[in-house]
Amino acid sequence: MNETGAVVIGAGPVGLFQVFQLGLLEVPTHVVDALPHAGGQCMELYPDKPIYDIPGTPATSGRALADSLLQQIQPFHTPFHLGQQVSRVGKQADGRFLVETDQGTQFLAPVVIIAAGVGAFQPRRLKLDGIEVFEGGQLRYHAAPASVTGLDVVVNGGDEAALQCALTLADLDAKSVTLLHRRDVLQAPMADIAEMQMLVAAGRMRFMVGQITGFGAVEGRLASLEVSDVDAVVHRLPVDALSVFLGLSPKLGPVADWGLAMERKQLAVDTARFETSVPGIFAVGDINTYPGKQKLIVCGFHEATLAAYAAAPLVFPGKKIPFQYTTTSPRLHQLLGVGTPA
């Protein structure tokens, strides 16, 4: 059981800035996100596309913004629980919330702040009847096999994550590594594509264009894939381990079952505290709605700031929460690990 001051659900830009604002108020915080990395939608959907509307930053990218926000919160040493989806939130007799993930991780906190963006990202799955029985074993979504020694490995996908997975596996002791994509164009950095081409030329991996249309099993184990190429010719590809990277799709998920007032699949909040209909549970960023709502990162930063100041008295009842400027406050300088100007 992790007892803490606040649990932030979501590690996108707004969730990360929420951690920063809570840190300035000395609220101990844990962060949970369904993705295996911080950065949220920015990192998952457009990591290298330009973003022009962050104040004081003429141009940045999703990756650079996430890196900056992670650097900004580094002084607080906030624990992250990535690759986990919050499945249950329930109020306890002492007024705190029991928060539990789909992996059984539990938290007890007086404050929960939902910064889940458009929802939890879930991997798009293969649409093949019966193949789900291999999930978590021979079939993995957005993850490399646990072991590849002597195995025929197939990586299905054409984005940067798929290519990186295949390149990593090609350096291990697999029997074979095949990158399979429906087109001959990959959405990945040119340097990675050039590396793949060299490995293919050296016979260390294979690149195949086609789509999985079926599979074969032997004694309850995944043994082969039926792959249809661009000419509709079906090839049988041996496989012992299959890693699938077909993108992610956001789903609201369990949030809808937590008894919070909603409007059009978004959480209704007040604009003074950004608190939901349940006291102690706040919502910031794209997950919330209110009159005049704009789905902009900068608006989420404003919401996170007000939510932090509303949440702190719940974590420290009876304590006066001082307002301090990072420019002049020796205490904030101490928290941030910076020197106080003379």
Measure the CA–CA gap between 228 and 182, rounded to whole angstroms: 9
Looking at residue 342, what is its pLDDT?
60
- The pLDDT tens digits for 138-192 are 999 988 998 999 999 999 999 988 999 999 999 999 999 999 999 999 988 899 9
pLDDT in tens, 268-289: 999 999 999 999 999 999 999 9
- CB of 89 within 8 A of CB of 97? yes
How many Cα atoms within 13 Å fall on the side-chain side of residue 170? 23
State residue 224's pLDDT score.
Answer: 97
Cα 233 versus chain centre, distance: 37
Residue 257's pLDDT is: 87
pLDDT score at 143:
86
Q: What DSSP element (H or E) covers 156?
A: strand 152-156
Average pLDDT over residues 195-221: 97
Confidence of residue 250 (pLDDT cuts 50, 70, 90): confident
pLDDT tens digit sequence for 12-29:
999 999 999 999 999 999
Residue 340: pLDDT band (50, 70, 90) is: low
**Strand, helix or coil for residue 193:** helix
pLDDT in tens, 77-96: 999 999 899 999 999 999 99
Q: Tell me the pLDDT of the chain averaged across its residues.
A: 94
Residues 113-131, mean pLDDT to the nearest whole number: 88
| Cβ contact 206:176 at 8 Å | yes
**HEC string of 60-118?**
EEHHHHHHHHHHHHHHHCCCEEECCCEEEEEECCCCCEEEEECCCCEEEECEEEECCCC
Q: Domains along the chain?
A: 2-122+249-336 (3.50.50.60), 125-246 (3.50.50.60)
- pLDDT, residue 121, reads 73
Q: 243, 156 in Cβ contact below 8 A?
A: yes
Contact 58, 52 (CB under 8 A): yes
Residue in the structure block whose two tokens are 């499945």: 87
Which residue, chain included where needed, has tokens 């095949």?
A: 178
End-to-end Cα separation, the chain, in angstroms: 44
Answer yes or no: are the C-beta atoms of 267 and 288 closer than 8 Å. Answer: yes
pLDDT of residue 136: 86
Token digits of residue 89: 């939130």
197: three-class secondary structure by DSSP: helix
